[in-house]
Amino acid sequence: MRTAYSVETVRAAERTLMARLPDGALMQRAAAGLAAACAQLLGRVYGSRVVLLVGSGDNGGDALWAGARLARRGAAVTAVLLAPGRAHPGGLAALRRAGGVTVPAADGVPLVERADLVLDGIVGIGGTGGLRAEAVPLAEAAHRSRAAVVAVDLPSGVDADTGQVRGAAVRADLTVTFGTHKPALFVDPAREHAGSVRLVDIGLELPAGPFLEALQHADVARLLPVPAAESDKYRRGVVGIAAGSARYPGAAVLAVSGALRGGAGAVRYVGPAADAVIARYPETLVSDQGPKKAGRVQAWVVGPGAGDDARTVAQVLALDVPVLVDADGLRLAPARDVRRRTAPTLMTPHAGEAAALLGVGRDEVEGARLDAVRELAGRYRATVLLKGSTTLVAGPDGGPVRANATGTPWLATAGSGDVLSGLAGSLLAAGLPALDAASAGAYVHGLAGRFAARHAPAGAHDIADAIPRAWRDVREAGVG
Ligand SMILES: NC(=O)C1=CN([C@@H]2O[C@H](COP(=O)(O)OP(=O)(O)OC[C@H]3O[C@@H](n4cnc5c(N)ncnc54)[C@H](O)[C@@H]3O)[C@@H](O)[C@H]2O)[C@@H](O)CC1
Ligand SMILES: [K+]
């Protein structure tokens, strides 16, 4: 599991550690890790052209000390000072001792354009707002140039705690972050500014409850249900799918396709698309009695392709088993009915649906995903999975938000969400708590999307077909 902590927590851990260490020790640890990452990226340090973008705080100090290390190994290092009177004095002296030079911001652009490596030390966890005007041309030149761009701790201009990007921000190829990941490194739009991310251990001791978590193969492998010798279909869980309409029968077929690969022992379908479902998946148990009388079901999925069938949504919400509400179901589920439920509820909106539920614009949700997912989870007292370029899952009681790292833009294809709802619903039926069902479901779904769309477009049914491969990949790597 990778974890991220808020700036406040990082600062507190830093204070505790600094009190025990000699002055400047933490910065030296950070700079050593940073210089090593830069050297690896450059291949050959001697003779390379390195430009440091240096702001007024310790983030610039890290860049200056790392620059000094590279200069001692023969790189030609120039520091572009954005706040010349306030650059970190110790770092500045070290760089000069090592043969590095400094220039004012106004002279920086041509140097950045000719650089092999640009180190972004404009601002780190102390930053507020987007880049200031004098830094914007330098960030743009870095993006344009052939230089590798390495962000120090965070790409400058992104909000560390929320992943929001207000105005211009640096776009890095690599971010070298210190002590712990910061939430912005997991959450778009900031995440895509960070490039790949490397964590340098500087000895911070962090509390047990992180702000954000990102599951990895080993975590998901532990969560995925495995049938025991004495399992029957009921012990493995039966998932009910109440989805599809005369107009959208495909949504039902796709939700069933995900559910069949999600670990439940059986899939029951109720709704008007039974013929289409059976034609494609004859192993489905279909019922024309509605959700209440459909037979034993341990978790329901309701909403994909449901059109305006509010009655079915209400019936499912009244059942005392875990329920996943998706797509049309989100619009048709009254908040008070969801809040009243005692069994877990999992809601799976994309940004547009989340925006409609919150009464805000889609851009607002996409720009501040963490706020949106938490707000919805609180309002509905439900677990909420917010789909998108970064899928986030928040539980109703606060606690760490889970960010999914396996997503791919190829998942943005019609019907892909229906597959996910079936898959996550199946995991609920198999007995996983809602937060785990949602985050393991998103993880496997994202991986399946990657397998299905290796350099080529894939349809939602291809994603469903790739779920067993993703599942095997997780289990083989995670459990051995
Ligand atoms: N917290 C830690 O444990 C450690 C922190 N270190 C480094 O120290 C950084 C934090 O240092 P600081 O607290 O000095 O803060 P920063 O260096 O991140 O930024 C603060 C300075 O930037 C200015 N500033 C704020 N927003 C700005 C913007 N949008 N554009 C331009 N300037 C802006 C502020 O006026 C202030 O002078 C970390 O990101 C990391 O790089 C490391 O040296 C090692 C340990
Ligand atoms: K930075």
Interface predicted TM-score (ipTM) of this complex, two decimals: 0.97
Closest ligand to the CA of 125: 1
Q: Which residue ranges does the chain devote to CATH 3.40.50.10260? A: 2-212
| Ligand 1 environment, Cβ below 6 A | 10, 14, 26-27, 30, 55-60, 62, 122-129, 131-132, 152-153, 178-179, 202
250 in a labelled binding site: no
- Cα separation, 359 vs 443, in Å, equals 29
Could you tell me the pLDDT band of residue 40, with boundaries at 50, 70 and 90?
Answer: very high
Q: Which residue ranges does the chain devote to CATH 3.40.1190.20? A: 217-479
Mutate to test the pocket of ligand 1, among 125, 138, 180, 199 (most ligand atoms within 8 A of CB): 125
Pairing of β 212-214 and β 2-4: antiparallel
How many H helices and E strands in the chain? Answer: 20, 18
- The edge-to-edge listing of strands for the beta sheet with 76-81 is 101-104, 76-81, 49-54, 117-121, 148-152, 174-178, 196-200
Q: 275-284, 341-350, 403-412, 439-448: which has the minimum mean pLDDT?
A: 403-412
Average pLDDT on 211-220 reads 97
pTM, two decimal places: 0.95
128 in a labelled binding site: yes
- Determine the pLDDT at residue 184: 97
> Which residue's alpha carbon is at the smallest distance from atom 11 of ligand 1?
58
Chain CA centroid to CA 62, Å:
27
Specify the CATH class of 2-212 in words: alpha beta
- Determine the pLDDT at residue 412: 85
Structure tokens that stand for 69 in this block: 């290390």
Residue owning tokens 């007995």: 431
Closest ligand to the CA of 91: 1
Ligand 1 atom at minimum distance from 204 CA: 3
60 in a labelled binding site: yes
- What's the mean pLDDT when you consider all of the chain? 96
> Which residue's alpha carbon is at the smallest distance from atom 24 of ligand 1?
127
Is the pLDDT at 480 greater than 60? The verdict is no
- Determine the pLDDT at residue 357: 98
- Determine the pLDDT at residue 313: 97
Average pLDDT on 136-163 reads 97
- Determine the pLDDT at residue 479: 64
| CA angle (84, 134, 88) in 5-degree steps | 25
Q: Name which residue leads in pLDDT, 167 or 104.
A: 104
Ligand 1 atom at minimum distance from 17 CA: 3
What confidence tens digit (pLDDT) does each residue in 51-71 have? Answer: 999 999 999 999 999 999 999
Is the pLDDT at 241 greater than 60? The verdict is yes
Superfamily of chain region 217-479: Ribokinase (3.40.1190.20)
Structure tokens that stand for 341 in this block: 């439920």
What confidence tens digit (pLDDT) does each residue in 366-412 have? Answer: 999 999 999 999 999 999 999 998 999 999 999 999 999 998 888 88
Is the pLDDT at 419 greater than 80? The verdict is yes
Is the pLDDT at 321 greater than 80? The verdict is yes
Torsions phi, psi of 420, nearest 5? -60, -40
Is the pLDDT at 478 greater than 80? The verdict is no
90 in a labelled binding site: no
* Per-chain residues with Cβ under 5 A from ion ligand 2: 120, 124, 151-152, 156
CB of 447 closer than 8 Å to CB of 406? yes
DSSP letters for 317-357: HTSSS-EEE-THHHHHS-HHHHHH-SS-EEE---HHHHHHH
153 in a labelled binding site: yes
Mutate to test the pocket of ligand 1, among 15, 64, 80, 123 (most ligand atoms within 8 A of CB): 123
The alpha carbon of 125 and the centre of ligand 1 are apart by a number of angstroms equal to 5
Average pLDDT on 95-104 reads 98
Helix (H) or strand (E) holding 10: helix 7-20
